[in-house]
Amino acid sequence: MIGSETPPGRFERLVTRLPEGAVLRGVFVSLLAVSAAIVFLDYRDLSAATEDAERTMRTEPLPLQRPEPGDQVRPYLPRTIPVGPDRGEPVLPGHDGPVGGEAMAGPMRFIAAPGGAVTAIGRIEIGTGAQLTAFLADEGIRAGSTLHLHSPGGSVDDAIAMAREIRRLRLSTSVPDDGYCASACPLVLAGGVTRDAGEGAWVGVHQVYAVDIPGMPELRDVGASISEIQATIARCQELLVEMGVDPAVWIKAMQTPPEELYVLTEEDLSTYRMVQAEPDPALFIGPPAPDAPTEAGTAAVTPEASPDAG
């Protein structure tokens, strides 16, 4: 019926004004833009994965600038070591061999050196804590000896067990000049009654994380649940408090992604008490017990507290 047609809307009028083929060209350009964005995102992810693979699989020492205040984050190397400008590789008591590559990626081993010193080199794996206890007992290592650390870290629970055994035996700990003590390794360092980090030593922390390396057993220190992660963080901080180290250092660990490492400066090491030239004094907890009255109304004398008590 004439006159009953609905007049075209604004959008329809706009489309009808477009030159022939413009709509198809617009659709094509849009699809091309979407495809380019997808390719870019895939390339970015592939580049990141390649960089991460190069970092985790690298076995040659990696030259890196030494950290300075405000510039302390460096890549985390799980199977080699960083080397600062004009610096070399560490010398470890009793150890004659490579200090990166195989030595870093392999399970931690212990070497007795003259004078009662011990070198610990390699990854801290599940069971390393028990192996250290057995080694120290077999070698007759006594109080006053020093455990020299060179490790990319590993199992948190074993690092905690190692620290407590070191403190129980009253041993000292040290990271040698240009040595590497990363991830869970600083927890072991904290166990020493005295603690030292040599010139150019790399002592760094990051979030609790298990690095997946082909050909190596996967070490899972925490599960997927938030409660397990929180429990692990609490155990780390509890150990640091127990060892006389400022637990605030673990804030730096929690702020640093697992693929990176927050490297402590000399000032940090001192401020957080990660290094300690002298043993902490014996702590006296609580006031002396009050004098107990006797039947005659006189006070009983309370023995003086021993400085070694507790």
Per-residue model confidence as pLDDT tens for the chain (310 residues): 455 556 666 656 665 665 656 556 666 556 666 666 666 555 555 544 555 667 788 989 999 999 999 999 999 999 999 999 999 999 999 999 999 988 999 999 999 998 889 999 999 999 999 999 999 999 999 999 999 999 999 999 999 999 999 999 999 999 999 999 999 999 999 999 999 999 999 999 999 854 444 444 444 444 456 778 888 999 999 999 999 999 999 999 999 999 999 999 999 999 999 999 999 886 534 445 455 444 444 333 333 333 333 3
Pairing of strands 195-197, 260-263: unpaired
CA distance 106 to 157: 18
Is residue 27 in a domain?
Answer: no
| Helix (H/G/I), strand (E/B), else coil: 120 | strand
Q: Is 81 exposed, middle or buried (0-12, 13-18, 19+ CB in 10 A)?
A: buried
Cβ neighbours around 58 below 10 Å, total: 17
Is residue 40 in a domain?
Answer: no
Q: Residue 80: left if φ>0, alpha if ψ -120 to 50, beta else—which one?
A: beta
* Residue 126 phi, psi (nearest 5): -65, 120
Is residue 224 in a domain?
Answer: yes
Is residue 222 in a domain?
Answer: yes
- Count CA within 13 A, CB hemisphere, residue 147: 35
Is residue 179 in a domain?
Answer: yes
CA distance 131 to 110: 9
Give the CATH number for residue 96: 3.90.226.10
Three-state SS for 181-225 is: EECCHHHHHCCCCCEEECCCCEEEECCCCCCCCCCCCCCCCCCCC
Is residue 193 in a domain?
Answer: yes
Is residue 309 in a domain?
Answer: no
The pLDDT score that the predictor gives to residue 206 is 97
Is residue 141 within 8 A of residue 119, CB to CB? The reply is no
Short-list 163, 160, 165, 158, CA closest to 134: 165
Those residues with Cβ within 8 angstroms of residue 238's Cβ, 6 or more apart along the chain or in another chain = none
Is residue 175 in a domain?
Answer: yes
The pLDDT score that the predictor gives to residue 24 is 61
Is residue 113 within 8 A of residue 135, CB to CB? The reply is no
Per-residue exposure over 285-307, b if at least 16 CB sit within 10 Å of its own CB, e if not = eeeeeeeeeeeeeeeeeeeeeee
Short-list 134, 204, 123, CA closest to 159: 123
The pLDDT score that the predictor gives to residue 19 is 65
Cβ neighbours around 177 below 10 Å, total: 15
pTM: 0.74
Element (H, E) at 254: helix 249-255
> Which residue range is the domain that position 65 belongs to?
59-271
Total of domains in the chain? 1
